[in-house]
Amino acid sequence: MHPWISERTEAFDSSGIRRVFDLAANLKDPINLSIGQPDFDVPDSIKSAAIGAIESGKNAYSPTQGVASLREALAKQVVQAYPNHQDRELFVCSGTSGGLVLAMLSMINPGDEVVFMDPYFVMYPSLVRMCGGVPVTVDCYPDFSIDPDRIAAAVTDKTKMILLNSPANPTGVTADREALEAVAKFAKQKEIALVSDEIYSSFFYDGEFVSPAEFNSDTIVIDGFSKSHAMTGWRVGYVHGPSEIISVMLKLQQYSFVCAPQPAQWGALEATKVDLSSHVNDYRQKRDFICAALSDHYEISKPNGAFYVYPKAPGDSGEKFVERAIAENLLIVPGNIFSSRDSHFRISFAASDETLQRGVEVLKRLARS
């Protein structure tokens, strides 16, 4: 290691992801079912709001906590959702990933344990280690449901945080109301920080979205516009939670990200007024199509949210299966990027119907072979 490089960077790597894209680098017109972002474009009214902000000179730093009108619009939604929370503040962050970084830096000391589910969003263990914390995973196989008893068993006197993600990346599975209530009340009782990553909350296909904040007023919620409005490159998220925690996160934002991009915040304000239910309905149909097409060929836990399916790979290795798929011009992601197990693979159905149909045909052929 170069003598200038810090030791913390050695605690994690991105070699798994790099390897997938290295394998795919020479593909021509690949059937791409790997990308974790919507395939529809940012709505025109949101683009116009951001362009208008740029042209009217709103290009400087915003307040660290975000543009006032955007915070007010979001805070109104939060108050409607949690009218009994007396101590809940909100700020705008630089994407939900930025919110996660700030949450970890604000609460995790070296040696603190952070409990989260396996499979997990690829950044979780890396962010914990970056802060000197210890990732503690809770096995959620085979159906990827949240089991409060397993979470309780993973907690020790060093546990500082429980991190939930529902609907989840990479599985698309949503936690049921009873499980979320049990985990939320357990965290409250044990005085453990509860962080809820709700970036896929808009993509909820069966029933109504439930947040653990409903059952624990100290829950720190992280959400944003990247997935719901296809604004992945705009880097606008938001965090709400207890005022003392939010104050510390804001202090760290001031000395790191400074603020979310101001023109993008004006676009986000417009996004709060845009109804994307038609896109959600489209994605529900895509979910139904791909599950129906593959359920006879693969072991699948039907996702209730997000835009991912996480099938079990035939054979003994998800990574080897993905190599076979890439050889057939199909780009998917091996499960060992998201898990301690190398048994599954992730499909993103955030793609055109034609692309999904082509991908399904390849996957059926691979299953038969």
Report domain extents, the chain.
7-42+276-368, 60-271
Those residues whose C-beta lies under 8 Å from the C-beta of residue 269, and which sit 6 or more positions away, are 49, 67, 69, 70, 73
Q: Is 192 helix (H, G, I), strand (E, B) or coil?
A: coil
Q: Determine whether domain 7-42+276-368 maps to CATH 3.40.47.10.
A: no
CA distance 113 to 128: 8
CATH topology of domain 60-271: Aspartate Aminotransferase; domain 2 (3.40.640)
121 compared with 21, residue with greater pLDDT: 121
* Statement: residue 122 has pLDDT above 80: yes
Looking at residues 126-137, what average pLDDT do you find? 95
CA distance 1 to 276: 48
Please state, as a whole number, how many other Cβ atoms lie within 10 Å of the Cβ of residue 137.
Answer: 17
- The tally of CA atoms less than 13 A away on the side-chain side of residue 302 is 16
* Statement: residue 20 has pLDDT above 80: no
Q: Tens digit of pLDDT for each residue in 229-250?
A: 999 999 999 999 999 999 999 9
Q: Is 214 helix (H, G, I), strand (E, B) or coil?
A: helix
312: which DSSP letter?
B
Q: Tens digit of pLDDT for each residue in 147-163?
A: 999 999 999 999 999 99
Q: Tens digit of pLDDT for each residue in 283-296?
A: 999 999 999 999 99
Residue 30 Cα distances to 5, 24, 35, 289, 359, angstroms: 36, 8, 12, 20, 10
Q: What is the CA radius of gyration of the chain?
A: 20
pTM: 0.94
- The tally of CA atoms less than 13 A away on the side-chain side of residue 130 is 14
CA distance 300 to 294: 8
